[in-house]
Amino acid sequence: MMGLDWIDLDSEAVAAAAFDAENEFIYVRFTSGSTYLYEACPPHVWEEFMAPGQSAGKYVDKTLRHKPYKKLDI
């Protein structure tokens, strides 16, 4: 996770997110403090997630939680 460019989000559920384009990973840091890595996320998924007006929490629930993922211990 070193070298990731985290973007702070104005969301009740999601504090920040980062994208690893090379590996197609989206990292999500929730306001609870937990951080998850979502796999199989090509650039268009990142663009949809970060689109203006998109609810980050709803997008995680609707789309990202159906991807392979794991909770990170950081």
Q: For the chain, what are the domain ranges? A: 7-72
Running DSSP on this structure, what letter comes out for residue 18? E
Residue 31 and residue 11 in contact, taking contact as beta carbons nearer than 8 Å: yes
* Banded model confidence at residue 1, pLDDT cuts 50, 70, 90: low
Per-residue pLDDT tens for 7-59?
A: 999 999 999 999 999 999 999 999 999 999 999 999 999 999 999 999 999 99
Residue 49 and residue 24 in contact, taking contact as beta carbons nearer than 8 Å: no
